[in-house]
Structure 1
């Protein structure tokens, strides 16, 4: 059998070098830079401009808008109320979402588990405006709740539920609850069942097993849920606007009113950036606190 001449090195197929990770990340980086960083820089520039008597931005630069944000109670109180509301909503979402996530993680694959996932995820497939209007229907003067209270004699006249702070907190919690259940379910589902069985075999009861095994191992899920819900609660304004009205003292609504009613864009930009920085600081502090707690639990 004749053997032909060996192919020359130049005839060998050339292999392209493998694409590095930066090549995959570059499109996302360009997208974020174009549609997030550039508008953010524009907002920062706008927040540094003073305004004239008619509210038009002047060409010079000043920190007067940030001085207004921190010294005028109309803005500073809204920042404090937004922070307290976000903390309240985050705690309630984690507390309410943990049992649901625990049930989802422990459920066996089948129709029941699929139905539970559909119930949890279906609100995310519905517009937040539609869900917020659902609370308007429930809590309005002629809504289901007031009609029940007046028909049973518990109230003589309809209560102003729709414009109350409690209605805002409850509706925001309802809107953001799925964002807490999903990471909690992932964390609880990743716990090895043999660890719980080992705890039971060593004489620990259900409560002690939960406190010494399940809860510590689910700390990453709690941290993820908190750090997702908290920023969303800090900046939310559609649900508070529809349920509580534009007079609710929340920073997001103050930004909305300054843009749509007062037309004071520089102070709205300053308040927006202050809210952003406050959110980043709080999320960073929460992350550091959870890491410290996890190191303490695991030694």
Structure 2
């Protein structure tokens, strides 16, 4: 046994036997960070055992979320595990993992699940996962957290079922950017597109990850709803109109929002839901355009020169928003990504 294998074995054994909740969470994080890539299969096996065998049952959702992050479409042997935890009442983080390993084969199962009794949050999580995998806009203009949804968009889901579960195959519309960028914005987007292209090469079309690695022109009605709420700098508006991430682009640990998710992502920062009044501690000129671990990146519209505006970052959960300037403009922010 190599030193690495022994270390992994020791950590795994501690994880499976500890009765300390804090130690349990820390061991999960350590195993995933240290061995999630170089010993991925072994890590998955250990995490699955932890869900099934550990006495720390209240943390099973946390572990299932890590498993869903680690699996790929090649881990089909884990499909029974995801079906099992969903049926056992631990579905929230399992839907995306199931869709990764089963693909469209699990669509009927998930639609059937949505018609059974369960919480709005769990069903909302299933709908979000289905939307991201299929490319269907079930949750368009809804908050990213289903806890804030007024109602589930079941009519859309059931209509999709009747149609035979069609998938919208996103296409990269901007290959010219790689070789012929003209403006500074196009040059910045071209670099982002190169990063996303590598992700798409790794994932199959219509996989959960592939659909999150697409730039596309936003639909007019989506842009119109955004313009009704905010007067945007020209450069940022052009970005949303022409080069918008289909969902969120994950770049350097930052979630960069696209037009389809921009309004919904303001929930929890600016308001509880898009129809509610803004929170009293939120400046009406602040627009959250990205986040890192829920810490918002804010485009300050009050400082717009008409073409661009500076970007600030603020830690969440502090009781008060303390903004720190991170970029003099949105263009500069993109270039850093």
The answer, yes or no, to whether TM exceeds 0.5 is no
Which structure has the larger Rg over C-alpha atoms?
1
With CA pairs under 8 Å and 6+ residues apart, which has the higher RCO, 1 or 2? 1
* Structure with more helix by fraction: 1
Q: TM bucket by the smaller chain?
A: under 0.3
TM-score by length of 2: 0.21
* Structure with more strand by fraction: 2
TM-score by length of 1: 0.22
